[in-house]
Amino acid sequence: MQNGVDLTPLGPRAGAERDRLRAELGAGPDDVLALAVGRLEQQKAHQRVFSIAERLMASHPRLRFAVVGGGSRRAELEALRAASPAADRVRLTGARSDVAELLGVADIFFNCSDWEGMPLTTIEAMGSGLPVVCTRTEGADALLDEASGIVVPVGDAPALAAAIAALADDPDHRARMGAAAAARARARFSADRMARELMHQVGVFAR
């Protein structure tokens, strides 16, 4: 049985809350904000964020990136950011307790990990109505289909950049993919679904 996530607190934020949180993530009201959430550890390969941002600097001046999470690579990634020509396009927030709210003000969710199981943050992003760009790690194919996300080869920063750029260019595509992701999260990965399956199994075993 697959894990389930409580999707109740997830969803888009609007108005002053949206503007305030986006400003904290380095994005204005009309920018396109790509968000990653995860521990700053080697497996997450967050160094690729700078390569992606640098590739898209000239072609997508309104694109911004934020990485939410703490971990052992914080100082290393801050140094990479300081040395990057795209430093003003990338924000490293550290650990935050308001991830649901941050997901609710983003436009795209991305995951550039080298390996993963089934990341709950990706399910949370789907439940928030975000289109997802991720690497083909274990669990990616189970979480996403073509309607709800774009899956690229592990380690392929150019492919990640191209997928994010395609979504940044097409707000209607983002909206359709985000709606499909939310529907898929509710149908397959919600805590309610997990509870129903568990109760069914308990009933079967009790017979």
pTM over 0.85: yes
* Rounded average pLDDT over 162-186: 97
- Per-residue pLDDT at 5: 86
Q: Decide if pLDDT at 203 tops 90.
A: no
Distance CA 3, CA 184 (A): 14
Q: How far is CA 94 from the centre of its chain?
A: 15
3-state secondary structure labels for all residues of the chain:
CCCCECCCCCCCCCHHHHHHHHHHCCCCCCCEEEEEECCCCHHHCCCHHHHHHHHHCCCCCCEEEEEECCCCCHHHHHHHHHHCCCHHHEEEEECCCCHHHHHCCCCEEEECCCCCCCCHHHHHHHHCCCCEEEECCCCHHHHCCCCCEEEECCCCHHHHHHHHHHHHHCHHHHHHHHHHHHHHHHHHCEHHHHHHHHHHHHHHHHC
- Per-residue pLDDT at 129: 97
- The string of pLDDT tens digits covering residues 36-78 is 999 999 999 999 999 999 999 999 999 999 999 999 999 999 9
pLDDT category of residue 140 using cuts at 50, 70 and 90: confident
- Per-residue pLDDT at 138: 86
pLDDT category of residue 207 using cuts at 50, 70 and 90: low
- Per-residue pLDDT at 40: 98
Q: Decide if pLDDT at 197 tops 50.
A: no
Of the segments 117-121, 128-132, 197-201, which one has the largest average pLDDT value? 128-132
Task: Go through the domains of the chain in sequence order and give each one's CATH number.
Answer: 15-206 (3.40.50.2000)
